[in-house]
Amino acid sequence: MQTNLPSLDPRPATRSRIHQGAQSLGVALDELALDRLAVYADELVRWNSRIRLVGPADIETIVDDHVLDGLAVARLIPEDAPTSWVDIGSGAGLPGLILATVFPARHFDLVEPIHKKHAFMSHAIGLLQLANARSHNGRDESIDFDTAGFGAVSRATFAPDVWARRARDLVGPTGAVVVCLGAAAFADLQASASRVDPVQLPRGAPRTNLYFAAQAT
């Protein structure tokens, strides 16, 4: 049974906002995951005030537009999804660090070319004591580990159709792909997806996330 990490001291207001948002999305979070996500959100606000990571944002924006967006991706991933994932253009760990918190039994490699964002992710991984996450400073073409059979996700680095092709090349036919459409339709992508999940976050336009299962085993 997981217990709270003694070094974490989440702000109750942040924790409560994440808890309410997760409930609205139908995502179950244990106490440790809630603590980690709240500490992550507050730490991102603190860093972002000094080093621009996600644009101007208060804690409400960080939770509603970023943490909950990551939780929406988490609810899309089925139980039989790959146990190893790569997040390309992870930025400040979105959605990779959110997914690593929700899925402690899965491993997440977070790839980000901008050094200050990589530095934040490395700091956050240590702060949250996430043994299942690793940050890489580079681009997807510079990945030096075998991603065949992985799951691949990218939140906003590429256009959805470009990412769908690029991700499939990255993980091969035995891997899985998550595509975040945002508010765009991309009917052809939706028609070929294994799972289609419309999402309404507390703020912003409705969006849709897609899951593409392995093409071969």
Nearest to 113 by CA among 133, 87, 95, 132: 87
Distance CA 172, CA 162 (A): 15
Q: Specify the 3-state DSSP secondary structure of 175.
A: coil
Q: Determine the pLDDT at residue 182.
A: 81
Contact 212, 186 (CB under 8 A): no
Q: What is the mean pLDDT of the chain?
A: 94
How far is the C-alpha of 26 from the C-alpha of 196, rounded, in Å? 16
pLDDT-wise least confident of 134-138, 144-148, 202-206? 202-206
Is 4 a residue whose pLDDT tops 60? no
Phi and psi at 79, nearest 5°, equal -65, -30
Find the mean pLDDT for residues 82-98.
98
Q: What are phi and psi of 22, to 5 degrees?
A: -65, -40
Task: Give the pLDDT band (50/70/90) at residue 64.
Answer: very high
Cβ distance 132 to 107 under 8 Å? yes
Task: Say how many CA atoms lie within 13 Å of 175 toward its Cβ.
Answer: 22
**What are the beta bridge partners of residue 182?**
208
pTM, 2 dp: 0.94
Q: What percentage of the chain carries pLDDT values higher than 70?
A: 97
Residue 172 has a pLDDT of: 96
Q: Domains of the chain by range and CATH?
A: 12-212 (3.40.50.150)
- From 70, 129, 124, select the one nearest 96 (Cα to Cα): 70
pLDDT value of position 156: 86
Give me 70's structure tokens.
């990551």
The pLDDT assigned to 142 comes to: 84
pLDDT in tens, 179-217: 999 878 899 999 999 999 999 998 877 899 999 999 976
